[in-house]
Amino acid sequence: MSVEIIDGTTITNFVEDEEAFSASVSDLFAQLDADKDGFLSYTEMVKELQRLRVMETHFGVDVKREPEEVARVYESLFVQFDHDMNGRVDKNEFKKETKKMLLAMANGLGSLPVQMALEHDSLLLKAVKREYSYAASANNNLLANAA
For 91, which DSSP code? H
**What pLDDT is recorded for position 58?**
61
Residue 12: C-alpha distances to residues 16, 85, 100 (Å): 6, 28, 11
Query: pLDDT of 115-127, one tens digit each?
Result: 998 888 899 999 9
**What pLDDT is recorded for position 134?**
76
Instruction: Name residues of the chain where pLDDT drops below 70.
Output: 53-61, 137-147
**What pLDDT is recorded for position 70?**
84
**What pLDDT is recorded for position 65?**
80
Domains and CATH numbers, the chain: 1-143 (1.10.238.10)
DSSP, residue by residue, 122-135 = -HHHHHHHHHHHHH
Pair 108, 8: CB distance under 8 Å: yes
